């Protein structure tokens, strides 16, 4: 079966994906796909340089992701431009990987993507699982993970759709404000529910 996995920034989506993978799910990670489609020599990187300038490149010719991130998260128009370039490339490569994974017979193929709801693609990945956390936890996790200031972390949260709007479109919600053990228990219940549905 194909499952969509999404959530707000720093809500713990990657942790949930790892727990599903440990149970046998094949994970297609849109973040990894988005890195692959802008590697040196790709059409995606050429388009980014045309849009944002050669300053976004490292000395070795690869994308300087922190520099591009700082540019786009401080200006909404730039973020929209970035999304217009990246999303079609990610969608095409993701479809190729999903099709291959489904053909290889994994018990569950999970498409792990932060922007499934924003891009209007939630209905392509049902059931949709949303990983949620409080904004305070999102902010603390972002500051620790990305070494951001409070303001920088809040800018990144504010640049995304509110988690509540994603929850409104979810088939299942995993609340991830507690311990790792709590999350593990919720993932186990989700796995039993989803795999049980396919076996009935």
Tens-place pLDDT, residues 143-166:
999 999 999 999 999 988 999 999
Residues of the chain predicted below pLDDT 70 = 76-77, 197-200
Are 98 and 39 in the same domain? yes
Domain assignment present for residue 165? The answer is yes
Same domain, 123 and 177: yes
Same structural domain, 113 and 172: yes
Per the structure block, which two tokens stand in for 59?
A: 């000395």
Whether residue 110 contacts residue 17, with contact meaning beta carbons closer than 8 Å, is answered with yes
The domain in which residue 170 lies consists of 1-25+108-195
For residue 197, what pLDDT is reported? 64
Give this prediction's pTM.
0.81
**Could you tell me where the beta strands, DSSP code E, fall in 36-148?**
109-112, 128-132
pLDDT tens digits for range 82-98: 989 998 999 899 999 99
Among 105, 127, 149, identify where a domain stops. 105
Residue 76 pLDDT:
52
**CATH number for position 75:** 3.40.50.300
pLDDT at 78: 84
| Count of the separate structural domains present in the chain | 2
Q: Exposed, middle or buried: residue 156 (CB in 10 Å: 0-12, 13-18, 19+)?
A: middle
Tokens coding 51: 């849009």
The pLDDT assigned to 132 comes to: 97
| Residue after which a domain boundary falls, among 56, 88, 105 | 105
**pLDDT at position 87, please?**
86
């Amino acid at each position: 079966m194909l499952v969509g996995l999404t959530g707000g920034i720093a809500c713990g989506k990657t942790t949930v994906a790892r727990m599903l993978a440990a149970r046998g799910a094949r994970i297609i990670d849109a973040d990894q796909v988005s890195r692959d489609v802008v590697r040196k020599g790709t059409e995606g990187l050429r388009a980014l340089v045309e849009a944002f300038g050669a300053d976004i490149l490292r000395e070795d010719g690869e994308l300087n992701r922190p520099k591009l991130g700082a540019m786009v998260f401080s200006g909404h128009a730039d973020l929209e431009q970035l999304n217009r370039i990246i999303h079609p490339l990610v969608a095409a490569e993701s479809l190729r990987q999903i099709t291959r994974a489904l053909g290889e017979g994994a018990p569950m193929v999970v498409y792990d993507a932060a922007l499934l709801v924003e891009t209007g693609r939630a209905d392509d990945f049902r059931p949709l699982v949303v990983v949620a956390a409080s904004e305070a936890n999102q902010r603390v996790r972002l500051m620790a993970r990305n070494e951001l200031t409070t303001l920088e972390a809040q800018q990144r949260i504010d640049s995304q759709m509110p988690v509540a709007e994603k929850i409104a479109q979810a088939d299942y919600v995993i609340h991830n404000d507690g311990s790792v053990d709590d999350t593990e228990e919720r993932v186990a219940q989700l796995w039993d529910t989803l795999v049980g549905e396919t076996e009935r």
